[in-house]
Amino acid sequence: MALLNILRYPDPRLHKVAKPVTEFGPRIDKLVADMADTMYDAPGVGLAATQIDVHERLVVIDITETKDDLMVFVNPEIVWASEEKQVYDEGCLSVPGVYDGVERPARVKVRALDQKGQPFEVEADGLLAVCIQHEMDHLMGKVFVEYLSPLKRNRIKTKLMKEGRGMQRDDARNAGRRA
């Protein structure tokens, strides 16, 4: 399978709203497999298609230590959320090295399709509930840093933009050495 490029905040493509998946088959199977490989390699516990510049409502999640329980959510929707909230330190593959507390519902019930198009529902709490909500935010064009204060968000944006410029210079320098 292929490792895919993960968009980095503040890339504007992270703010595109994903469209529903309407066709299932080999293309979705390959996309799910490639997204899973990319997530595991990163390493992360969740990845939304938006993060790899595919703007379809598709999420992969695996919160296990053993990385052997891949969950696939196609066209997910939260059908119930608890009034009880929890603050969880979140990180994101699109915002590398940044972790901060985000308050979300402690429990959710989600309705989705699996990668073959079969409907299912899951009730989640703890890390799984956080991960589902975080990845579904990506499908709506929202990155977790948008829950933070404008000051924190601007510091993160500046830091990542500086790192991105440094990486581009390193890539150009290394490309010159390979030529």
Residue 111: count other Cβ atoms within 10 Å of its Cβ: 15
User: Would you say 131 is a known binding-site residue?
Assistant: no
| 47 in Cβ contact with 35 (< 8 Å) | yes
Report, as residue numbers or ranges, the catalytic residues: 135
List of long-range contacts for 153-158, beta carbons under 8 Å, 24+ apart: 156/9, 156/95, 156/98, 157/9, 157/10
Is 134 annotated as contributing to ligand binding?
Answer: yes
Closest to 53 in 3D by CA, of 99, 86, 98, 13: 13
User: Is 15 among the annotated ligand-binding positions?
Assistant: no
Annotated binding site for Fe cation: 92, 134, 138
Binding site, by residue number, is 92, 134, 138
